[in-house]
Structure 1
Amino acid sequence: MSTQYQAGYKLRDLKAFLASVVGEKIAKRMECEMGRVELKLQSKNMGHGFDLLYQRYEADFYFDKFPFTHYDPAVLFANVGAWLIDNDASRFDHDDLDDPEVDVVMEDDKSAEVLISVTFEEPVKVIQDDNGPITWRGQSWRIEEYDIWQAERVTDVVSRRA
């Protein structure tokens, strides 16, 4: 777990993954951007912290001069899909979270502009901190990951509630 929570962690992680699979030469021409951010005001007590709200945003992955004769775009698209299935399972809990969109514009007979847009939703997590910059419920909080404890036996859950 990182010591500092970063909003947009799904964009960051998919960008790193794509850079590793396309190689350094293609990754140098990849740009990423977060846009159309929406905040869903829905807090949830998670025990050691809260999901204060959820942010939904569009992550755009733009490749300039993508060498489609050297690297098959279908492999790029399959890697995006595979990463989402492996690393963003919560997206399948949302009927309104669209599948990725792709736009390809041919530049010449060897390269194209490729834009992949992915909608992400992720919680903004907070923990209580007397010096935190967020005031909520009359207390101070800071944005931070928190530990999530999982019961290993049903008796762990039952005995803690008693």
Structure 2
Amino acid sequence: MFINITDSKEAANKGSSAGLVHYLEKENRIDNKQQPEYWFNGQQIRIEPYEVMRTIDNNIAKLGKDDAKFFLVNVSPSQKEIAFLKEQYGEEGAKEQMKGFAVRVMDAYAQNFKKDGIHSHEDLVWFAKLENHRYYSHKDPEVKQGLKKRGDRKDGNQMHV
């Protein structure tokens, strides 16, 4: 399992969350999903993108104009771990297991703040989105070598939060 917090220099996280929310909605747009993948946060499981943007963008108390307004926590299991989850729980069950794991990751994230009043995911303003695919970017060697195009789906199990 690979878990990282995206560097704020690369995250463009000092203004609105609109760009990030739009980016993370790509699978719902690309696949024209009849059953869209909703946002979740430990208390709710069917959060609309506009609610995510509004909540994050209005959560600016005590923040300066140059302070990061949000951070990205990526939870990426290996293909072997994804295969295990699917074998044990089925396709939909694996997704639910990943969402539950994301909540537990946010519990640990909250505890590491070591601040009064912040003890679990319930004390944070956060949202997550499960994605089923990864896509090649201009940074990938396969794109640079002309083997793949930017935006092509990567092979294999790529489920992540």
TM-score, reference length from structure 2? 0.27
Question: Which protein has the bigger helix share?
Answer: 2
- Indicate the structure (1 or 2) with the bigger Cα radius of gyration: 1
TM-score, reference length from structure 1? 0.27
Question: Which protein has the bigger strand share?
Answer: 1
